[in-house]
Structure 1
Amino acid sequence: MDLSVWAAQQPDKAAVVDETGARLTYAELEAASNRIAHHLRRLGLRRGDHVAIASENRLDLFPILWAAQRTGLLYTMVNWHLTADEASYVVTNCEATVLLVSATLRELAADLPAVPHRLSFGGSLPGFDALEPAVSGLPETPVEAQSEGSPMLYSSGTTGRPKGILPATQEVPFGTGLRFDHLMQDSFGFDSSTIYLSPGPLYHAAPLGWSLGAIRAGGTTVFTDRFDAELVLALVERHRVTHAQFVPTMFVRMLKLPTEVRGRYDLASLRLVIHAAAPCPVEVKRAMIAWVGPILTEFYSGSEGNCFFMIDSAEWLVHPGSVGRPAVGHVHICDPGGRELPPGEIGEVWFDGMPPFAYHGDREKTRAAYDERGWSTLGDLGHVDEEGFLYLSDRRTDLIVSGGVNIYPREIEDALILHEAVADVAVVGLPDEEFGQRVHAVVAPAPGVAPGAELEAALDRHLRGRIAGFKVPRSYAFEEVPRLPSGKILRRVLADRYRTPTPG
């Protein structure tokens, strides 16, 4: 798991490849990351110090990540789609000593806060020192006393300010690997033959961790700068991809490609298709298994690292809709009073038997994530069956309570997304004078589909054969659904947009 060892064993092998075919070999990644590591040490950074990085997916980001990883630093990838205020909050909150920004993000960079050291890469930025000339001529050999660093992840911030998750770290030599690196190799079969495709943004936890983990295993990471359904299929064929990771919205977009486009590409190299970030609609997952074979493995986790569930295709076909059983730790379903519920009953999902976590600089939010037993939660609702398989219903904060009845947006979304006229959908609860809340659907029509009363009527007919009548939306809006690139719906944006109460 030591990059230097792989660089010595396979110097000319591609460690990272972008969508254009440009690549960094293991020898190049080793040399470039060592030069940057020496510069970070020259700036005075030592183990446990923090760097923040704002960048789109690009090749020259990877040496920066490995430089931080091999010098024992905490590093935070800043979502560059955030507003300047939101991004500045993350940079300030993580207490970064160094801020590195891609030169293409000129507008964002101009509004980011001052930190002791501001570096640009891939070009120059006003008020930033250029990284490339600063590291030119520095040693290409490792710094002394290398130790494992760690990403410090931030929650998605779909319901408020993102929370920094302080990792539980210990001083171990570089090459030891993180807990997740070992899980990838032991449970997902990552090794030196792996060619991993990551179509997600590297500021998101899973694409970052899996992309670096594939290199840890001696494999090759192929990445895209954006998700494009046909491009993904082309890259699988071109690079003979063995492992790929997606979110359910990506599945939907690939499945809605014309049949002749889907059949144009050879996907036979795929050994494993991984998906996570949001529960996958049952019919969407069935269609994916029918297309690529029973090679889908789903995992459910959180950036907090307080749980990890897995389910392969064979298990899922017996337990459709489940996110699996705990790979480590234990799961508990509890009512609002903390009483543990029996199988089949929906409640809040709690975990134990995992390393503790803390939200950086926020004791109150950390306290709220734990109960008096030391169990922790991500705020999700769900149930387990008699065999211990977990089924998620929704986020606690997404629950709609209409006339005293609990309604889960995900159930409605899963039914609507199957309609051929729907490209994307989100369901929220809006204030209602009579019922407290009413069900409202925000629908992005498929290309060529006209929004309006005729489409509403068609969607109503589609839903009434699939869900109970009281769950059918009482109102619709037709527009783009705001999502993070990770696939998570920005419900707080929709809640703010449709906040005005409407008479029942």
Structure 2
Amino acid sequence: MNAINPYEYGMPREAANFQALSPLSFLERAASIYPQRVALINGRQRQTWGETYARSVRLASALAKRGIGLGDTVAVIAPNGIAMFEAHFGVPMCGAVINAINTRLDAEAIGFILQHGEAKVLMVDKEFAEVAQRATSHMPNRPLIIGIDDVEYDEGQLIGELDYEAFLAEGDADYAWQLPADEWQAIALNYTSGTTGNPKGVVYHHRGAHLNALSNAMCWDMTRFPVYLWTLPMFHCNGWCFPWALAAYVGTNVCLRHVRAEAIFPALAEHAVDHFCGAPIVMNMLANASPELKALKTRPVKVMTAGAPPPAAVIEAMESQGFQVTHVYGLTETYGPSVVCEWQDEWDSEAPEQRARYKSRQGVRAPLLDELMVADPQTLQPVPRDGETIGEIFMRGNVVMKGYLKNPTATAEAFAGGWFHSGDLAVWHADGYVEIKDRSKDIIISGGENISSIEIEDVLYRHPYILEAAVVAMHSERWGETPCAFVTLKPGTESTEESVIKFCQHHMARFKVPGKVVFCELPKTSTGKVQKFVLREQAKALA
């Protein structure tokens, strides 16, 4: 007879000692303790945490009255603003799943997302009315459309059966919302970019959203009452989980409809902003802003950046202007950031350029990611920590997605061997820090040698006249493949292919030097990432 484990005897898991983890609890706490603190600033509008909670409860109630509940999808097409923020709480409060849709997608892509996610409700800001109408015009099961009328925006067209404020009025202030019965319950649906076919629907659970919100704040040493500027779209990995993190830390959300240097610098000054997130393209835009705009910033600001690996030159330029950059890395499948370039004190004495190079590495696992490794994608054997051997990045833990919606085959492939397969190729340094060398499809093989396009791009960004750069493989009769560089010059500057190639020859091994340089505007995805598949087609035509 098996002995009874005394640590399990007479101690059942029940409501008194166990609650499902969910970021919804952050909003309730913020509103109950700090109801008068400002939660949202949207132009001239100000809204407290008490008001935000009350309105989110009404949204949940109104959805429930319309029959929306567990397992239903509520889609939102809106900029960073009050309605989008409230939807991150009100939608899951009634048990439904929020699907924040990329506002820059075309009607065909949006139509696919709405049908694949089976959206029962679509909330749409008037700026995106036209594309929403086209996206829903041929849907066999058209969702209930609710128009969002942002008083700070005068253009566009309000569509839908009713507007957002009228919909909130249908809800009850005393609606008895509840935390999920199971923290494995879905909270959000996010679609990947789908550059090689239809996007995949990535499903987040309440537990992961709760933990990654806290993990991000821990990475940043965030304290109570931060003032956060929304340059990162809330549709992108649910704003990397920061709507929920800002509720946990009772912060002030300063909303920006459009991300431009002319709006960012005045907002930093007016609202005493101390934190914001943005892709490297946003940092590059700020680093190259006019001196007049830069002069508006008078206090240190913490910046968290992710997306394409940030060039060291861009990080150095930002830090020279008083921005403290934290580089994080992740994927839609890992709730956004799950790896962070943790700073080490001994790096303080290094020259600015070397400090920036350290910061450009992806780093180590974030506080609430359980495991991270660089390994052979076939055997899952970790590669040597020599900074040279290339392998694939693998993660596992609570901040990895639940899976892909309606796609068990893709889910099984992504989790093969008990690890999430990122598809990103990297080296592992002796200190345990990971450094991406490329996506598996972007590595350049020239004369049998692997060449990292990211490494070449990093050199190009150090050129005094180059604003943006991207490198892809181009066919070569002699070498099989050779690097082809696409660059955008800074306004008011001129350069030639020959001079750019000579610059590269002075800063890298000869076999890595681009065989071709093309001057152009770089094609980008809706989140600011360079569309390398487009550039590969252009390089193919050039070859």
Q: For this structure pair, what is the TM-score category when the shorter chain's length is used for normalisation? A: 0.7 to 0.9
Using the TM superposition, give the Cα deviation of residue 107 of structure 1 relative to its aligned residue in structure 2, in angstroms.
1.9
| Further displaced range: 217-226 or 114-123 | 114-123
> CA contact under 8 A between 1:16 and 1:220: conserved in structure 2?
yes
Using the TM superposition, give the Cα deviation of residue 15 of structure 1 relative to its aligned residue in structure 2, in angstroms.
0.8
C-alpha separation between the residues in 2 aligned to 1:101 and 1:16?
A: 19
Using the TM superposition, give the Cα deviation of residue 183 of structure 1 relative to its aligned residue in structure 2, in angstroms.
1.9
2:346 counterpart of 1:322: no
Which amino acid letter does the alignment assign opposite residue 474 of structure 1? G
C-alpha separation between the residues in 2 aligned to 1:439 and 1:399?
A: 10
Select which of 174, 189, 192 maps to 2:224: 192
1:371-418, Cα deviation, whole Å (9 max, x unpaired): 3x3122110011111221111111111112233322211111111122
2:211 counterpart of 1:161: no
What is the 5 A alignment of 1:103-182? 103-113=126-136, 114=139, 115=141, 117-123=143-149, 128-147=161-180, 150-169=187-206, 178-182=210-214
2:340 counterpart of 1:310: yes
| Aligned residue number for residue 463 of structure 1 | 504
What is the 5 A alignment of 1:338-349? 338=379, 339-344=381-386, 345-349=389-393
C-alpha separation between the residues in 2 aligned to 1:308 and 1:425?
A: 26
> What are the ranges of 5 or more consecutive residues in structure 1 without an aligned counterpart?
171-175
| Aligned residue number for residue 270 of structure 2 | 238
Relative to structure 1, the CA distance from residue 222 to residue 296 in structure 2 (aligned partners, 3 Å threshold; closer, same or farther) is same
C-alpha separation between the residues in 2 aligned to 1:80 and 1:421?
A: 32
C-alpha separation between the residues in 2 aligned to 1:132 and 1:259?
A: 41
> CA contact under 8 A between 2:487 and 2:521: conserved in structure 1?
yes
| Aligned residue number for residue 419 of structure 1 | 463
Using the TM superposition, give the Cα deviation of residue 314 of structure 1 relative to its aligned residue in structure 2, in angstroms.
3.6
Relative to structure 1, the CA distance from residue 21 to residue 434 in structure 2 (aligned partners, 3 Å threshold; closer, same or farther) is farther
2:134 counterpart of 1:98: no
Relative to structure 1, the CA distance from residue 202 to residue 441 in structure 2 (aligned partners, 3 Å threshold; closer, same or farther) is same
> CA contact under 8 A between 1:442 and 1:476: conserved in structure 2?
yes
| Aligned residue number for residue 173 of structure 1 | none
Which amino acid letter does the alignment assign opposite residue 125 of structure 2? S
Using the TM superposition, give the Cα deviation of residue 186 of structure 1 relative to its aligned residue in structure 2, in angstroms.
4.0
C-alpha separation between the residues in 1 aligned to 2:130 and 2:142?
A: 20
| Aligned residue number for residue 297 of structure 1 | 326
C-alpha separation between the residues in 1 aligned to 2:162 and 2:364?
A: 49
Relative to structure 1, the CA distance from residue 202 to residue 484 in structure 2 (aligned partners, 3 Å threshold; closer, same or farther) is farther
| Aligned residue number for residue 395 of structure 1 | 439
> CA contact under 8 A between 1:196 and 1:211: conserved in structure 2?
no
C-alpha separation between the residues in 2 aligned to 1:189 and 1:21?
A: 30
C-alpha separation between the residues in 2 aligned to 1:323 and 1:219?
A: 27
Relative to structure 1, the CA distance from residue 333 to residue 7 in structure 2 (aligned partners, 3 Å threshold; closer, same or farther) is closer
Using the TM superposition, give the Cα deviation of residue 279 of structure 1 relative to its aligned residue in structure 2, in angstroms.
1.8
Using the TM superposition, give the Cα deviation of residue 126 of structure 1 relative to its aligned residue in structure 2, in angstroms.
5.4
| Further displaced range: 187-196 or 310-319 | 310-319
Select which of 272, 280, 287 maps to 2:317: 287
Using the TM superposition, give the Cα deviation of residue 342 of structure 1 relative to its aligned residue in structure 2, in angstroms.
0.8
Q: CA RMSD in A?
A: 2.8
2:517 counterpart of 1:476: yes
C-alpha separation between the residues in 2 aligned to 1:420 and 1:232?
A: 24
> What are the ranges of 5 or more consecutive residues in structure 2 without an aligned counterpart?
1-24, 150-156, 348-354
Give the TM-score normalised by structure 2: 0.82
Give the TM-score normalised by structure 1: 0.88
Aligned length: 489
Which amino acid letter does the alignment assign opposite residue 462 of structure 2? L
Using the TM superposition, give the Cα deviation of residue 34 of structure 1 relative to its aligned residue in structure 2, in angstroms.
2.1
Select which of 64, 71, 82 maps to 1:41: 64
Select which of 355, 372, 375 maps to 1:334: 375
**Matched residue SS, 2:118:** coil
1:236-261, Cα deviation, whole Å (9 max, x unpaired): 22111122222222222222234454
Which amino acid letter does the alignment assign opposite residue 403 of structure 1? G
**Matched residue SS, 2:119:** coil
Using the TM superposition, give the Cα deviation of residue 116 of structure 1 relative to its aligned residue in structure 2, in angstroms.
5.0
Relative to structure 1, the CA distance from residue 46 to residue 226 in structure 2 (aligned partners, 3 Å threshold; closer, same or farther) is same
What is the 5 A alignment of 1:252-291? 252-259=284-291, 261-268=293-300, 270=301, 272-291=302-321
> CA contact under 8 A between 1:296 and 1:313: conserved in structure 2?
no
C-alpha separation between the residues in 2 aligned to 1:206 and 1:471?
A: 38
Using the TM superposition, give the Cα deviation of residue 187 of structure 1 relative to its aligned residue in structure 2, in angstroms.
4.1
